Structure 1
Amino acid sequence: MDQSTVLGKSLKEWKDELPLLESIMELEPVIWSNTSYKKMDQIPPFSITKADIYEAEQLWKRFAPFLRKAFPETDSTKGIIESPIRNIDSTGKTMEEVYEKNFEGKLYLKCDHELPISGSIKARGGVFEVLSYAEELALENSFISKDDNYEAFLEPEMKQFFSQYTIGVGSTGNLALSIGTISAKLGFTVHVHMSADAKQWKKDLLREKGAQVFEYEGDFSEAITNGRDRTIEDPKGYFVDDEDSKALFLGYSVAALRLNQQLAEKGVTVDEDHPLFVYLPCGVGGSPGGITFGLKHVFGDAVHCFFVEPTHSPSVLLGLMTGKNEQVSVQDFGLDNRTEADGLAVGRPSRFATEISSYLVSGLYTLEDDELYKLLALLADNEGINVEPSAAAGLLGPLLLKNLTYIKEHNLQDKVSQATHICWSTGGSLVPEADRKRFYQKGKSLLKENN
């Protein structure tokens, strides 16, 4: 009998209290409805507010001239880092056939794999936090005022000034790419601490951009802990903390304002009778948490957000389900945190993000790595869209909705037919061609095995 204890309780006591734990520990895919979910008029006050989202949007606008000049790929959007939203009903129909399940409503993909600078959702949070820090330093040292043209951040003297400061980050890959790229462009010294599951091509690309990469044999928790400790030792070091950062969170939240505009342009209605369901791949919880925070403040109770994690790395699920957030890890419950979805390979959730998400997220589901490859291949075949495995996680969401007690509890049964589903794609455009082909071929072979 297993005598392990977690926060003073035996595993048997935890399983008796939370029966779903048995399936989670057996690495079975699960669906969970959040028992702590609250309507927007019932949520407690948080340390950040709706006003902070709009303030964050203003920072993005101030830096738009700099981004437009520094990254020519943002020229068409005038320096705004944003991704398109695409209808993928064709993929939806194929998924219904493959999985022998159906869903109602329109299906869209939010294409954050196309985001400029780092080709992933981390271009929102990571780039924002570095820009926020750069602005703070520039203002404090009288290099600039908020009314100036921020193209000034390209000036040699500004880059020379930033070079005396070090930015550190711990990452499984995509956050590091965004931090490394924008920090190097501004002139900062960059130290990236990467876990064992980080892909080699991401390490290579970071080194090409001028970042110093430190590699660890352990998982994300080891990389971020070491990175934090080493950066804090430097009096001019600044650590981008994926486990506890308001700036990262707010950078992601601005996506909701942009999505609202995109849906309006497509004539998509979101209200009580036309619910919006959003499915977000989840690692440490910062990016899906920040986006959910923004969406709930823009669309209120009409939007329902679901996080997605690998069966081997359900850190946010365990944190939310136990109510212990960052105090528990997947290893506490006998899970190995090994997954091909490198961006989701996180053993312990973010304290800051999970505390807020505990009231706002509608639920969470887990899936096996093989499903990521199958979904990736289906998306490529039907839409010609290529993403990395972790970015395909949200695609399964609409097919699982009917299995959720949440739908009945919130009287949504008669409204799902008028729903809009958005699967949030989180990364993939920078994946090397050889890896992309390998992902696709694996997905195709797995689909054939199922037939």
Structure 2
Amino acid sequence: MKQNVHGKSLTEWQAEFPLLKNIMDLHPVFWTNGKQLPMKEVPPLPVTREDIIEADKRWKRFAPFFEKAFPETKAAKGLIESPLRHIPHMKKRLKDYYNEPFQGNLYLKCDNELPVAGSIKARGGVYEVLKHAEDLAIANGLLKKDDNYEIFTDPAFTSFFSQYSIGVGSTGNLALSIGTISAKLGFNVNVHMSGDAKQWKKELLRSKGVNVYEYNGDFSEAITEGRKQTLEDPNGYFIDDEHSKDLFLGYSVAALRLKEQLLGQGVKVDRDHPLFVYLPCGVGGSPGGIAFGLKQIFGDYVYCIFVEPTHSPSVLIGLMTGEEDKVSVQDFGIDNRTEADGLAVGRPSSFASEISRHLISGIFTIEDDDLYKLLAILADSEGIRVEPSAAAGLMGPAKLAGASFIKKHRLDDKMGKSAHIAWSTGGNLVPEGGMDRFYQKGKGLLR
């Protein structure tokens, strides 16, 4: 642990931000973002609503490719999307177990069921690879935007892309999404994985022809080394989870899809019907992209709340102190060790932090044991199985009910008509044995 961080002692940091002591002691906390602004007052951002619309059009252009290359997308006509499920039995079990009653309906956004990659990373990671492939094909005269994109499955295209490489640093799920789609298109793929990445993910990637490099250190080491090696290749393209606009926009399109799903289920979002969305958070790109999209669509009536492990609260510390990516959890003596695959990140994304700064409503932290308990309760109450990190958002409504947030935002009389969405981020590709171990550990903790 550093004795001084940016010229201040840890005692001085704690005096300035009293919540920091509880964070450093690894206690679960709820932080309300005092810098959140009404949408009309948010300064210009490096991404716009028009960018989301363009990203959605690109997804639609690639739909014929997905239908042919990934048969599991055929029923959805090549759309990469997940269901929104009402989970009333989970709500009851949550209230009973945690003794924290809350008002409003509870839903699960099942990105654990996303086709191609089985996690939320199928949005950002897959999207950036598609954009890069489209840019290369157009620049080399192989493609026009009004072509049928099924041609991306042609041998001529896979042969063309074999001249190029794609690199990424990852804790696991981003690597799976990028490795899967890049290999399918024909790229040479190099994945740099941190020490906490699961072995089965490495083996699955290798089975798809992906080169996997393993590191003993955390996400920061994997991404730094991955960036360096990729940029040494003149035909290399690095997908940067810390700085990528395209990755961010891939996630943001989820807001357009969610709007349609909410309409389809008769869920209103307006002044009298607030929407609360709980987003598991690692480096901040996927929750930041989704939050950005949701705020563009629903404005001040949606409240986006990030969730981080108590051992990896990088975005919380970055946004709370205002130092964003200039500080890491290790600076404050926190070890960044968690079972929450994908959330073990010590330093936040500078790009995502800049955008989330005035948009998100707050962040809460959660202990690993609660992740296992929640996934077991979800499996028993709704028959839905997810990995630990994907269960993080389920604690959101109870955390919110126990915080001063509702009173501060003058929402007391509106909570009865509210909707809560826990965003489930992954789990579909977890081997059966692994999922059974998660469940059994959760059941043991509940006892």
TM-score tier (shorter): over 0.9
SS in 1 for 2:413: coil
Map of 1:26 onto structure 2: 25
SS in 1 for 2:399: helix
Map of 1:45 onto structure 2: 44
Mapped partners of 1:62, 1:237: distance in 2: 25
Alignment size in residue pairs: 447
Map of 2:270 onto structure 1: 271
Mapped partners of 1:94, 1:64: distance in 2: 39
Mapped partners of 2:88, 2:434: distance in 1: 27
Deviation at 1:7, TM superposition (A): 1.1
Map of 2:244 onto structure 1: 245
Mapped partners of 1:344, 1:400: distance in 2: 19
Are residues 203 and 3 of structure 1, via their aligned partners in 2, closer, same or farther at CA, if it must alter by over 3 Å?
closer
Map of 1:396 onto structure 2: 395
Map of 2:168 onto structure 1: 169
Mapped partners of 2:308, 2:416: distance in 1: 26
Deviation at 1:3, TM superposition (A): 6.9
Are residues 272 and 346 of structure 1, via their aligned partners in 2, closer, same or farther at CA, if it must alter by over 3 Å?
same
Map of 1:229 onto structure 2: 228
What letter is aligned with 1:218? G
CA contact 2:2–2:333 (8 Å) conserved in 1: no
Matches within 5 A, 1:31-430: 31-430=30-429
Deviation at 1:413, TM superposition (A): 1.1
What whole-Å deviation, never above 9, does each CA across 1:374-428 have from its counterpart, x for those lacking one? 0000000011100000000000000111233332222111111110000000000
What whole-Å deviation, never above 9, does each CA across 1:290-321 have from its counterpart, x for those lacking one? 00000000000000000000000000001000
Mapped partners of 2:180, 2:289: distance in 1: 21
Mapped partners of 2:101, 2:338: distance in 1: 28
RMSD: 0.7
CA contact 2:2–2:332 (8 Å) conserved in 1: no
SS in 1 for 2:89: helix
SS in 2 for 1:415: helix
What whole-Å deviation, never above 9, does each CA across 1:182-238 have from its counterpart, x for those lacking one? 000000000000000000000000000110000000000000000001101110000
* Higher alpha-carbon deviation: 159-168 or 404-413: 404-413
Mapped partners of 1:215, 1:250: distance in 2: 28
SS in 2 for 1:277: strand
What whole-Å deviation, never above 9, does each CA across 1:14-71 have from its counterpart, x for those lacking one? 0000000000000000000001101100100011100000000000000000011000
What letter is aligned with 2:280? P
Mapped partners of 1:129, 1:342: distance in 2: 21
What letter is aligned with 2:142? F
Mapped partners of 2:37, 2:111: distance in 1: 28
What whole-Å deviation, never above 9, does each CA across 1:111-156 have from its counterpart, x for those lacking one? 0000000000000000000000000000000101000000111111
Mapped partners of 1:5, 1:160: distance in 2: 53
Matches within 5 A, 1:430-449: 430-448=429-447
Deviation at 1:254, TM superposition (A): 0.3
Mapped partners of 1:259, 1:267: distance in 2: 12
CA contact 2:2–2:331 (8 Å) conserved in 1: no
TM-score, normalised by the number of residues in structure 2: 0.99
Mapped partners of 2:2, 2:111: distance in 1: 44
SS in 2 for 1:77: coil
Map of 1:16 onto structure 2: 15
What stretches of structure 1 move > 6 A for 4+ residues in a row?
none
User: Which blocks of at least 5 consecutive residues in structure 1 are unaligned?
Assistant: none
Mapped partners of 1:5, 1:173: distance in 2: 32
Mapped partners of 1:240, 1:123: distance in 2: 14
Are residues 411 and 395 of structure 1, via their aligned partners in 2, closer, same or farther at CA, if it must alter by over 3 Å?
same
TM-score, normalised by the number of residues in structure 1: 0.98
Mapped partners of 2:284, 2:318: distance in 1: 10
* Percentage of matched positions with identical amino acids: 67
SS in 1 for 2:342: helix
